[in-house]
Structures are given as C-alpha cells and as structure tokens.
C-alpha cells in the first residue's frame, strides 16, 4: 500500500497543478479547491488526509505565478484575482461589525479565510483583517457561553447524535 | 563630524534623563521608566477580547542585563554539575531503567511546551501596552528559550552518558504515530499560542505554570531522586526558579484586564476552558509517568494532585484572584474525580499501544501491584488481573505473537480518541469519568469523552480538526506504519519502544510485529 507521504492521490493533484500556467487559472483553481476540500463546512471528506499538502502545493504554484505577473505595487495591494485587497478587506470588516450572531460571524470569518488566505491576499492586509474578524468572532462566541444546555447547543450546531453513554 | 539623527536623539535623551550612577536595581528601574514609551498607541498583531491596561506594573522589575547575569550564574552551576560531578560518578547509569524511560517522555514533551511558551510570551509582549508588563513578558521569553535548551540538554545528556539512548535522541520523529504526542501538542502548543492572546496567557501562565508546574517540574524532581536520577533535579529545579516570574506574569495579566468590562464577561469561561484543556492531559499523563514510569514510589498521584491542583491552586491561588472576579473553574470537581483513576485507565491503553511509542514501558511488578492496591483499593480487580493475563500470554516476548491491543479487540473494548483533548479512552473498560459521546457533523463522526470538551467543540469545531491515528492509518498494517513513522532504532528494524525494560530481554523488531498482522481500524466507522 502506498504510504501516507507519497500516494496516487497526491500524484494526481500534482499533475493537475502542473497544468496551471496563468495567475487567473491558478486563482480560480485554489478558490474552488478550498471551497470543496478545505472548508470546515465541507461535506466531501475524500481529501481529509491529503488536502493540506495539496493546498500547499497549489499555494506554491499560485505564489510563483503571482511573482511572475505582478509588479511590486500589485504584490502589496492586490489580490490574485486583481481586486484591491484593502477594499475587499474593508467590505468584510463592515459586514462583521454589523453582525450580532455567532454562527453568522463564524461564516464570515471562515469564508474570508477560504477566499483570501495568502497568497491570494497580500499578508500585510490579510493578517490585520483576520485579527479584527477573529476578535469580533471571539467576543460573540464567548458571550453567555454556558447559556444553552448541551442538547440545545447540539441542535444549534446542526449535529446528529450518534451515541451518548 | 556630523552625528546621525538616532545618535543625537539618544544623546538628548541621556541629557534629559541622566543614566544611573550606580547599578542599584531600583535606580536603574526608575531610569528605564523615565523613557515613557508610548506602547498604548501601538496595535497588536493578535486577536483578543480583552483590553490590557496601559499602566500595569510588573513585580520583578528586572532589566535584561541583570537578568542575563543572574541566569548565567544558574547555568554555570547547572552545567558544571552535570558535566563534572555527575559525569564522574556515572550518574546517568545509576538511574532506574523504568525512570530512564519516563524521562524520554517528560523532557522531550516539556521541551515542546517551553518552545511554544517562547512564542506565547512573545505574543503577550506584542499584545500588552504597559512598558512594565512588556518587560515582564520579555523576561519570560528569555526564560523559555533557556528552558527549551535545558530540556533538550537533559535528553542529550541521558543519550550520551546513560542507558538505552533510543528515544532520548530524536523522539520527535515519531510524532505522527505516538498517541501521546497529539494530546501534548493540544495543551503545550495549541493551548499556548492559538486563539485569544489573553486566553493563551491563562492557559500558559495561570493554569500551565501556576497550577501544573508544581506537579510537573517540582514533583518530578522528587520522583527522579527516588529513582536514582540526579540530573533531572539539577536541571528542573533550576527551571523552577524562573517559574515564579511566570506565575507573577499570569497574575499581572489578570490585573491588567481587571478593570475592563470584558473581563467579567469572558474571564471565567476562558479560565474554565483553559483548566479543562490542561488538566485533561496532564492529570492522567503525569500520574501515569510518575507511578507507572518509576520503581520507587513517592506518594500516590491523587495526593499530589489534591495538594497542588485542588487546594493550592484551585483554592489559594485562584482565591487571591477573587478580588478581580476570578472564580475556581466549574470543571474542577470533575477533574478531581479523574485524578483518582484516569492515569490507571491511560496506562492500560498506553501499554496496549506500546509499539507506537518512543519509550519502553513495563508491567507493574508484584511489589508495585501491592502498592497500587494499597493506595487505590480495587486496582487489582480492574487492572492487575489484566496485566497478569497479558504477562501470561507472553506480551513481553517477541516470539509470543501477542500484542495487548488484541485483548481489547477480543473483549470488544474499542479505544476511541477524544477529538478535543486527543487523549485516548476506552469507555467500556475504565474506572475514570470518561463517557462516550459521538456526534456526526457534515457526514463526519467525532468522539468526545466529557461534557466540557464537547461544549468546546460545539462552540468552535474548526479549531479541533486534528486527525487521530485511527483515522490516519485506517486499513494500514502496524509494522508498515511504524517503519513509515520512524519508530525504529538505528539498525532499521528494532523498535524504539519495547514492552519491558529488562536489558537482557529480547527486543521486538518490525518482523515480530508483522507476523501478528495487526491492522488499524477506526472505531467510529463501526457506529
């Protein structure tokens, strides 16, 4: 049996990554990959063991293409889709500031990470935005932490109880 | 000749605030304060729900130069003792073989904790705005660097001077297969450096250092001495001299947020989660290392735990913080129940999974079994008779074809791994408080062993995505996994871990394991 570090799944994805030859293609590829395989809300678990490694390889390719196609100003200010990074960040921050529900705040933060995690967004913009979003999410999550009994909390989270002993 | 702007600024500052004429600590400290750094205008890189006050004081008031002078003296004494006196008397070979194995775990794991504490205190330096508070955290960053080196040095010393080096050297390479590694990273890594910066301080300083440092770093020296180990007290007591500063930093973190409205909303929840996170791993693992990893016993773990965790920390230390609104964690009572049996439950599983480790385990001798029964009435009926059965089936002998994990399978006692703490548990064969809870979320099953961890996961499931060994190696044969995970010695075939510490006993190899054809299966798939 193939070992955990070197297996046909990883090889197949490496072949796909090798075909990416423009920043636009690589951006679309990573966005789709993260949404399907890296999201905490995913329902497809087929890449559970190899997903992080494959994502790393896509990020490497994306960063190289970004280096090839972007000038210095773009590297500091633009996402790999071409959008102005600070504008993208500001829109998310405004949305989060208006949010009062922890589950909605969780979706805003997670979706921001899936869409913008570097090298998609420059780190100088991403990290500070992530700090602001994380702070608000933690405030909402930790307010009245014990208010709901576990039974209610399970329902809110949408989990199925398989067994309770 | 023109001078640079920076030099001019420094010259002007000195003219306004003349440097001290002596090296008196208080005078130097007052001088440092006169710089009036305006950190309150800086923004931190890290998220936190709290606002640390800008005028927080720090108790030690130690500047870096004095600190370095003090620590260098400690290092000279410590390394001098190790390299001269203890080497001359061949101290590393006088250690009881069982304790030699325990130190493979304790010092390697503590090294990881110290390493992460460097990052944690760096993060706190960045998050605080009061110059004195920053100074306290800076001292701790330096301490943690020192401690990381000290822990590594213990293993280096044992490997170079002592008996059976495998496991003292390069233990970290087995981190993917050893079931104790992931739980250790949950407390020592994730708990210290992920999430809210103040919550990390609570994990590290208020719980890790103020609560568990006594059992971990002080009690370990008693157990070490009792088992012939003079190196560990030499190093760990030197580490402990720095821990007071860290406890004080934890205290000051709480003081710094006491007047913030957020503290009343979040502090006790964060403290409870931090306490449960830390105790869930340390309570069983420390108890197991002390009692099962030694031949000569100091006292029952439950007594140590009650004295230092329940009374000293939960009562006195947290009581002192009561004026800032801090309450004893609501999970303390559940933790107290676990302090009696959880380490016995864990050793049963650890021994059953011995091939995946990086240290040697051994079954209790008759004399030790009597000690357990005397201190934990009912021990033999639950655990002792199982060990007798395993011994009778030849679990120590490579030619027996018997691994204790087979006993769990034969008797239908599946072993699960708690998603939040990553600690293995067997709900159908345990005397501790663990209960099985399995939830399915988006098509994936998650097992938990208590209500506190379940609530943590329900609140932020994306934090606990770590796969366990059953999920990682589902369908794989054990010897293949051990080889792939670097669990063998330098000959490429003999396992690092062994089910005995008898130096004349036969050592298990990959071939011995392969013959048994033990295949990993994920117990959650059967539900």
B195: left (phi over 0), alpha (psi -120 to 50) or beta: left
Which pLDDT score is estimated for B216?
83
Contact B455 A150 (CB under 8 A): yes
- Residues contacting B315, CB < 8 A, separation 6+: B328
**Banded pLDDT at A46 (limits 50, 70, 90):** very high
pLDDT in tens, B252-295: 899 999 888 888 899 999 999 999 999 999 999 999 999 999 99
Tens digit of pLDDT for each residue in B334-369? 999 999 999 999 999 999 999 999 999 999 999 999
H or E segment to which residue B444 belongs = strand B444-448
What does chain A come to in residues? Answer: 165
Can you tell me the distance from the alpha carbon of B172 to that of B168, in angstroms, rounded to the nearest whole number? 10
How many angstroms separate the CA atoms of B79 and B235, rounded?
8
* B430 closest CA partner among B501, B358, B345, B331: B345
- Please list the residues that pair with B448 across neighbouring strands: B437
Which residues in chain A have Cβ-Cβ distances shorter than 8 Å to B454? 150
Tell me which chain B residues have a C-beta less than 8 angstroms from the C-beta of A126. Answer: none
Interacting residues of B462 by C-beta distance below 8 A, sequence separation 6+: A40, A106, A110
pLDDT in tens, B489-503: 999 999 999 999 998
Average pLDDT over residues A159-165: 95
Least Cα distance to A112 among A98, A129, A136, A94 occurs for: A129
The predicted complex's ipTM stands at: 0.95
Optimal mutation site among B416, B429, B438, interface A, most CBs of chain A within 10 A: B438
Are residues B433 and B342 in contact, defined by beta-carbon separation less than 8 angstroms? yes
**Residues 101-130 (A) with a CB less than 8 A from some CB of B:** 106, 110, 127-128, 130
Q: Please name every residue paired with B447 in a beta bridge, in sequence order, or none if there are none.
A: B438
pLDDT of residue B228: 97
Could you say which residues from 11 to 50 on chain A have a Cβ atom under 8 Å away from some Cβ of chain B?
A: 40-43, 45, 48-49
Q: Which two tokens stand for residue B48?
A: 């936190």
What's residue B2's pLDDT?
63
**How far apart (Å, rounded) are the C-alpha atoms in residues B125 and B134?**
5
Cα–Cα distance between A149 and B391 in angstroms, integer?
46
Phi, psi for B180 (deg, rounded to 5): -85, -20
Who among A5, A145, A162 is closest to B527 (CB)?
Answer: A162
Which tokens is B489 given?
């010695």
Nearest CB to A135; choose among B47, B270, B442: B47
Interface test with chain A among B441, B448, B463, B520, by most A beta carbons within 10 Å: B441
Which residue from B280, B376, B287, B273 is spatially nearest to B335, judged by alpha carbons? B280
pLDDT given at position B34: 66
What's the DSSP call for residue B488?
B
Binned at pLDDT 50, 70 and 90, residue A2 comes out as low
Closest by Cβ to B439, choosing from A127, A130, A161:
A161
Q: What percent of chain A has pLDDT over 70?
A: 99
Residue scoring higher pLDDT (A151 or B213): A151
Q: Comparing C-alpha atoms, which of B36, B45, B58 is closest to residue B133?
A: B58
pLDDT at B437: 98
**In whole angstroms, what separates CA B294 from the centre of its chain?**
18
pLDDT at A39: 93
The pLDDT value given to residue B264: 87
Q: Which residues, other chains included, contact A37 with Cβ-Cβ below 8 Å and sequence gap of 6+?
A: A44, A46, A47, A51, A54, A55
- Which residues of chain A are within 8 Å of residue B435 when distances are taken between CB atoms? 164-165
Cβ–Cβ below 8 Å for A1 and B442: no
- Whether B151 is catalytic: yes
Of the candidates B44, B262, B440, the beta carbon closest to that of A159 is on: B440
- Contacts across the A-B interface (CB distance below 8 Å): 103
Contact A122, B36 (CB under 8 A): no
Structure tokens at B118: 């460097």
**How far A47 CA lies from chain B's nearest CA (Å)?**
12
Q: Which pLDDT belongs to residue A116?
A: 98
- Which residue in B438, B460, B467 is closest to A163 by CB distance? B438
Which tokens go with A150? 């576990």
Contact flag A150-B266 (C-beta cutoff 8 Å): no
Tracing tokens 């949408």 back to the chain, one arrives at A158
Nearest C-alpha of chain B: how many angstroms from A32? 19
The CA distance from B48 to the nearest CA of chain A, in Å, is 5
Q: Which residues of chain B have pLDDT under 70?
A: 1-3, 23, 32-40
Predicted confidence (pLDDT) per residue in B378-404, tens digit: 999 999 999 999 999 999 999 999 999
């Amino acid at each position: 049996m193939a070992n955990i570090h070197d297996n046909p799944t990883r090889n197949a994805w490496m072949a796909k990554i090798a075909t990416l030859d423009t920043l636009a293609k690589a951006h679309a590829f990573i966005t789709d990959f993260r949404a399907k395989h890296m999201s905490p809300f995913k329902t497809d678990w087929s890449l559970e063991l190899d997903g992080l490694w494959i994502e790393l390889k896509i990020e490497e390719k994306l960063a190289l293409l970004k280096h090839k196609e972007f000038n210095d100003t773009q590297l500091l200010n633009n996402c790999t889709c071409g959008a102005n990074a600070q504008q993208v960040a500001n829109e998310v921050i405004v949305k989060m500031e208006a949010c009062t529900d922890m589950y909605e705040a969780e979706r805003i933060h997670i979706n921001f990470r899936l869409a913008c995690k570097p090298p998609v967004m420059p780190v100088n913009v991403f990290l500070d935005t992530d700090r602001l979003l994380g702070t608000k999410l933690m405030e909402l999550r930790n307010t009245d932490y014990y208010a709901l009994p576990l039974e209610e909390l399970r329902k809110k989270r949408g989990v199925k109880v398989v067994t309770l002993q | 000749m023109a001078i640079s702007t920076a030099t001019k600024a420094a010259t002007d500052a000195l003219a306004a605030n003349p440097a001290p004429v002596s090296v008196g600590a208080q005078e130097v400290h007052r001088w440092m304060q006169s710089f009036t750094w305006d950190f309150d205008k800086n923004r931190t890189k890290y998220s936190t729900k709290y606002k640390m006050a800008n005028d927080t004081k720090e108790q030690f008031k130690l500047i870096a130069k004095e600190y370095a002078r003090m620590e260098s003296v400690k290092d000279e004494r410590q390394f001098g003792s190790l390299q001269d006196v203890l080497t001359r008397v061949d101290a590393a070979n006088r250690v009881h073989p069982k304790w030699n194995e325990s130190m493979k775990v304790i010092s390697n794991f503590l090294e990881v904790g110290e390493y992460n504490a460097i990052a944690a205190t760096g993060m706190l330096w960045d998050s605080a705005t009061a110059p004195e508070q920053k100074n306290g955290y800076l001292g701790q960053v330096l301490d943690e660097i020192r401690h990381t080196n000290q822990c590594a040095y213990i293993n280096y010393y044992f490997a170079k001077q002592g008996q059976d080096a495998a496991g003292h050297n390069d233990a970290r390479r087995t981190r993917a297969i050893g079931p104790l590694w992931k739980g250790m990273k949950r407390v020592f890594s994730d708990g210290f450096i992920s999430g809210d910066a103040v919550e990390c301080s609570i994990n590290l300083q208020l719980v890790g250092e103020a609560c568990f440092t006594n059992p971990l770093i002080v009690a370990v020296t008693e157990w070490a001495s009792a088992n012939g180990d003079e190196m560990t007290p030499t190093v760990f007591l030197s580490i402990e001299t720095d821990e007071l500063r860290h406890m004080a930093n934890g205290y000051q973190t709480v003081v710094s947020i006491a007047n913030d409205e957020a503290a009343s909303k979040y502090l006790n929840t964060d403290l409870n989660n931090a306490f449960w996170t830390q105790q869930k791993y340390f309570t069983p693992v420390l108890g197991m290392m002390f009692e099962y990893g030694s031949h000569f016993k100091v006292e029952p773990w439950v007594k140590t735990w009650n004295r230092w965790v329940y009374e000293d920390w939960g009562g006195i230390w947290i009581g002192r913080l009561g004026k800032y609104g801090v309450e004893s964690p609501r999970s303390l009572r559940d933790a107290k129940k676990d302090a009696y049996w959880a380490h016995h439950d864990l050793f049963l599983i650890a021994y059953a999974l011995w091939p995946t480790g990086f240290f040697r385990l051994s079954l209790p001798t008759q004399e030790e079994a009597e000690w357990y029964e005397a201190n934990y009435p009912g021990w033999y009926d639950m655990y002792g008779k199982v060990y007798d059965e395993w011994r009778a089936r030849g679990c120590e002998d490579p030619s027996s074809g018997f691994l204790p994990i087979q006993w769990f399978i034969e008797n239908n006692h599946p072993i699960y791994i708690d998603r939040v703490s990553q600690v293995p548990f067997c709900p159908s064969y345990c005397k501790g408080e663990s209960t099985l809870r399995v939830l399915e979320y988006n098509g994936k099953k998650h097992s938990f062993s208590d209500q506190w961890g379940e609530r943590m996961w329900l609140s932020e499931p994306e934090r606990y995505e770590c796969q366990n060994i059953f999920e990682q190696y589902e369908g794989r044969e054990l010897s293949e996994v051990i080889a792939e995970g670097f669990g063998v010695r330098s000959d490429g075939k003999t396992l690092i871990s062994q089910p005995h510490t008898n130096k004349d006993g036969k050592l298990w190899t990959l071939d011995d394991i392969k013959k048994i054809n033990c295949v990993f299966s994920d117990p959650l798939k059967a539900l």
